[in-house]
Structure 1
Amino acid sequence: MNKSSLKRVVVTGMGVVAPNATNLADFYNALKTGKSGLRYDQQLADLQFGCHVSGTPQLTEEQVADYFTPLQLRGLKATGLVYGVIAGKDAFRDAGLEIAGKENALADFGIIMGTGQSGGEKFREAIHLIDDGRVRRLGSTSVIQTMTSGISAWLSGELGAGNLVTSNSSACCTGTEAFIMGYERIAYGKAKQMLVGSTSDSGPYIWGGFDAMRILPTSYNDQPENASRPFSNDAAGFIPGSGAGAIVLEELESALERGATIYGEVIGGALNSGGHRADGSMTAPNGTAVQRCIKQALSDAKIEENDVQAINGHVTATGKDAYEVANWVKALELKESKPYLNSFKSSIGHCLAAAGSIELVGSLLQLKYQEVFANQNITDLHPEIKELYDLDKIPTATVSTNIDVLIKASFGFGDVNAAVVLKRYD
């Protein structure tokens, strides 16, 4: 299908549960002011993790009770499901959509909410109960808490989605991939609204493997807010985080008919893999594929490299930060003039499967309010990044500026890549 014949797609609703805020307004203020959501985690210390810092959303029992009935909360241990339901229902409400009636589902509304691992705590409980011969103590919700599609299925029942309802799983790319999948479904006329995003559980049973790989920092246990240091010469590893981001994508014509708030327009995107070839592997990105994904996103959006004013990178505070920046420079053919570049991981950590969706919410807030949020904890730019980029374009304070086009990318475990091009809507 010719690009000109595709439906235009905009963002009309957002919801977020993040380590530094658990609603959209507070999340905007937290990113704008640099408020950190990284804290000392006693549970990790007690379990003898090397890293004792995490980014865990601070939800109260009262907040959770606003989204779940007492019956639903009975035996509910899947934190990712809790985060995803709250973020999803908030995004739906923010978009001004109405829940389906009892008889008919919303035929033009679908859901793609992804996750990496679901229900770690529930799995732990299940293993002990089954091994003890008490399988019937598992409860009736153990399946929905532990299946990957549980989050989308739960939200579908709450909201009445009658279009495509599914869940994807693609490591750190999950949320950005879901966003692109939802965008394409609307662009090709197969839905009018899609609730997209991703969620990730909290806790040691999700984060333990990364601590075992020794890619989490161990020298900042007494300085949790300083532990995540993207772009910095002393970056020592990523801080494990969790939460959920949810976004309502909508056909422009439908949004205008409803008089909906529009945060921005989606004008293109791309997904690919490096196939573990050349310098790519299960844990390392193939640079050629990363560059190809960025270029494919620009081509899909029908824009040139110099049209981009801001980049929200993946940039995890590891030894690969400089390599990612180098790939951005090559893909966008950057010379003298460079777009602003930031990463939210300095204040929220790496939220794993939820990273892309939470960071997309932040990116759309930047586009809506014409600001580039600050990068925290840069002692001194990594020397390789200094050679590639200007310090003033990797801001350490929030900058008010003109952003017409912003590109957001995620690069995931397994050598997978996703890039989205967003545009200010006039």
Structure 2
Amino acid sequence: MELKRVVITGLGALTPIGNTFSEYWEGLINGVSGAAPITLFDASLFKTQFACEVKNFDPLDHYDRKEARKMDRCGQLGIVAAREAVAHSQLLDAKPDKGRVGVIWGSGIGGLTTFEQEVTSYVKGNGIPRFNPFFIPKMIADITPGLISMEYGFMGPNYTTVSACASSSNALIDAYNLLRLGKADAIITGGSEAAVTAAGVGGFNALHAMSTRNDDPKSASRPFDKGRDGFVLGEGAGAMVLEELEHALKRGATIYAEVVGGGLSADAYHMTAPHPEGLGVYRVMKNALEDAEITADKIDHINMHATSTPLGDIAEPKAVVDLFGDHAKNIQINGTKSMTGHLLGAAGAVEGIATVAAIYNSLVPPTINLHEKDEEVPDLNYTFNKAVEKDIEYAMSNTFGFGGHNACVLFKKY
């Protein structure tokens, strides 16, 4: 069976540094930090009092009041990003067979705000079980792709992938595989997350995973910097329209890049820490190269997972050096979480979009907030503090999640 080619024809983003794809891209190339004091709840007693929230988002700008109340913030953000991607692709203008258009979405946590509110109300109500009838539908992680399919009548493959912070990269890889197998003509894929809540911040604080740089939030996410002290929690959504090449060409779609490979692996090491030698990271990138049937020297750019944690920011570059050898220093590397924070299950989607835009515009966004590079981090080309022009043929986007889940998506200039 001959596998079909898969291309990207639409992009949508709702992020801490821009509420549309174009705003997000402008924020990236200009090195804007999305970190600021938390406004979504009173964080004054928490170890971390800042996050990368989506700014100026009012659900009532996008939904009527009754509709908005039926959705958790995670779903609200996701549907807005998906709407932009679908409109951007002009897919509906071609009147596609909706039975062959799917939605595959990623979310690591899902409706955490709803879960927290409902359980808190139950406790405050002296244990009287008065739950909102929409509690479960709002909370479950798979509701977003269901709602997107209902909005458009898309009846193709529809589900959510859950692999912690690798979730939306897993969704993208699943969408790619289904399309190249001919199981659909187009799939809306991406991810959303809205975990800037008391439970989210408190939980990650208890793990000592997040930065506590409350005196300087904007520079708190600092991948590869000697003074990094943990990740900055972010929220938002990213969406792409993936399409079988012939279907896209037939309708005259604009093509932003091609998806040519996907790698998956496990660290098999620790619940929350990466393998110190980056063995799972090495394997996931190698698997992506083998899937795309290209050699390591073809890679021009890597959008790293680069969360600004002490261990992860050493293990990932080590794996790059081990896999790419002498070519490693020719690769333009960046860590866009320095600007967006860590969007957990939505990270792969928003960073995949950044990678596609870098290919399309021949411009690699910076890794901001470098003050002093950690001497334990291998010397590579990290695109510190300023965007760099570069012609990119092949690029990777890495995302890794608690539990040792690793995903790598490989894109190519079309």
TMscore range, shorter length: over 0.9
Which stretch shifts more, 123-132 or 170-179? 123-132
Q: 1:35 to 1:65 in 2, by over 3 A?
A: same
Return the offset for 1:120.
1.9
Give the count of matched residue pairs.
408
Return the offset for 1:193.
0.3
Which position in structure 2 is the counterpart of 1:304? 295
Q: How does 1:107-122 map to 2 (within 5 A)?
A: 107-122=99-114
8 Å contact 2:11–2:353 — kept in the other structure? yes
Q: 1:336 to 1:420 in 2, by over 3 A?
A: closer
Q: Please give the alpha-carbon distance, in whole angstroms, between the structure 2 residues aligned to 1:236 and 1:255.
A: 45
Return the offset for 1:154.
0.8
Matched, 1:98 2:92: yes
SS state at 2:345 partner: helix
Which of these residues, 73, 79, 97, is aligned with residue 73 of structure 2?
79
Return the offset for 1:393.
4.6
Which of these residues, 7, 10, 15, is aligned with residue 10 of structure 1?
7
SS state at 1:266 partner: strand
Which of these residues, 203, 207, 221, is aligned with residue 201 of structure 2?
207
Q: Please give the alpha-carbon distance, in whole angstroms, between the structure 2 residues aligned to 1:134 and 1:290.
A: 48
SS state at 1:198 partner: strand
Which position in structure 1 is the counterpart of 2:46? 49
Q: Please give the alpha-carbon distance, in whole angstroms, between the structure 2 residues aligned to 1:73 and 1:379.
A: 42
Which position in structure 2 is the counterpart of 1:350? 342
Q: How does 1:404-415 map to 2 (within 5 A)?
A: 404-415=393-404
Amino acid at match of 1:294: M
Which of these residues, 248, 273, 279, is aligned with residue 288 of structure 1?
279
Q: How does 1:50-199 map to 2 (within 5 A)?
A: 50-61=47-58, 64-74=59-69, 76=71, 78-98=72-92, 106-131=98-123, 132=125, 135=129, 138-139=132-133, 141-199=134-192
Q: Please give the alpha-carbon distance, in whole angstroms, between the structure 2 residues aligned to 1:41 and 1:116.
A: 21
8 Å contact 1:117–1:206 — kept in the other structure? no
Return the offset for 1:106.
0.8
8 Å contact 1:100–1:160 — kept in the other structure? no
Q: 1:46 to 1:399 in 2, by over 3 A?
A: closer
Q: Please give the alpha-carbon distance, in whole angstroms, between the structure 1 residues aligned to 2:97 and 2:60.
A: 25
Amino acid at match of 2:386: A
8 Å contact 1:105–1:160 — kept in the other structure? no
Which position in structure 1 is the counterpart of 2:364? 372
Return the offset for 1:270.
1.1
RMSD of aligned residue pairs (Cα, Å): 2.0
8 Å contact 2:94–2:251 — kept in the other structure? no
Matched, 1:315 2:309: no
8 Å contact 1:367–1:403 — kept in the other structure? yes
Q: Please give the alpha-carbon distance, in whole angstroms, between the structure 1 residues aligned to 2:272 and 2:131.
A: 38
Q: Please give the alpha-carbon distance, in whole angstroms, between the structure 2 residues aligned to 1:9 and 1:159.
A: 22
8 Å contact 1:285–1:416 — kept in the other structure? no
Q: Please give the alpha-carbon distance, in whole angstroms, between the structure 1 residues aligned to 2:67 and 2:221.
A: 35
Q: Please give the alpha-carbon distance, in whole angstroms, between the structure 2 residues aligned to 1:378 and 1:337.
A: 18
Q: Please give the alpha-carbon distance, in whole angstroms, between the structure 2 residues aligned to 1:46 and 1:304.
A: 48
Percent identity of the aligned residues? 31
Matched, 1:272 2:265: yes
- Give per-residue Cα distances to partners, 1:356-408, cap 9 Å, x unaligned: 111111111111101011110001211022xx324x55332111111111011
For structure 1, the 5+ residue unaligned runs are none
8 Å contact 1:195–1:247 — kept in the other structure? yes
Q: Please give the alpha-carbon distance, in whole angstroms, between the structure 1 residues aligned to 2:104 and 2:382.
A: 34
- Give per-residue Cα distances to partners, 1:75-106, cap 9 Å, x unaligned: 54x111111010111111111122999xx971
8 Å contact 2:68–2:76 — kept in the other structure? no
Which position in structure 2 is the counterpart of 1:419? 408
Amino acid at match of 2:354: G
For structure 2, the 5+ residue unaligned runs are none
Q: 1:176 to 1:75 in 2, by over 3 A?
A: closer
Q: 1:27 to 1:108 in 2, by over 3 A?
A: same
After TM superposition, the score normalised by the length of structure 2 is 0.93
Q: Please give the alpha-carbon distance, in whole angstroms, between the structure 2 residues aligned to 1:38 and 1:401.
A: 28
